[in-house]
Amino acid sequence: MLNDKKVRIAVLVSGGGTNLQALIDSQKSGVITDGEIVLVLSNKADAYSLTRAENAGIKAVAVTKAEFGTDFEKKIVETLDENNIELIVLAGFMCILSKDFTDKYKNRIINVHPSLIPSFCGEGFYGLRVHRAALEKGVKVSGATVHFVNEIPDGGEIIMQKAVEVCEGDTPETLSARILENAEWKILPASTQLVCKKILNGEI
């Protein structure tokens, strides 16, 4: 008998949500077959990613520090539990999660980072800062990494990596765009599918 169960996925975002869109598109095209995005949660009430979710018929929720203060993480956990979430995908979520949170969801949180970890990662390395640092160092190759999330920023086990060439005259913006298109939008959906399959098979 075919197993038609799908892992219930929440995508956590802070901004425009291009990685979220890549996940939604990959679900439609059949790259992600063992999971389903049932919730998009943002820490910014005006994040365009919430509109992307609504456009795709996915439940969209904002949980902001301004509204919930010290109960911010508690409210996220409540929202995840209410929606029976089995896998959390961080797709440009600009909040550091506590050890209590990451321990609760051990091997159930994955993140995409715009460099080849262990290069240009850890605390303070996010967004264009990552690409600026890579260009200042003069690297010829950069890329993206999907990894499990633990209490150390960018410190969890690596799931997938993809290298992208750095071109002459690159700016942080051009390098970011090339890495998004050629690495992040490919390995984040592929990693999501891989982890969903392992969850269904009882491997993690």
Residues labelled catalytic: 113
Q: Cβ–Cβ contacts within 10 Å for residue 168, how many?
A: 4
φ, ψ at 170 (rounded to 5°): -60, 145
Q: How far is CA 30 from CA 33, 75, 90, 96, in A?
A: 6, 32, 21, 31
- 89 and 12 in contact (C-beta within 8 Å)? yes
* Cβ–Cβ under 8 Å, residues 162 and 112: no
Using DSSP's 3-state secondary structure scheme, residue 187 falls into helix
* β pairing state of 59-62 and 109-113: unpaired
Contact 88, 66 (CB under 8 A): no
Q: What is the dihedral of CA 19, 22, 28, 32, to 10 degrees?
A: -70
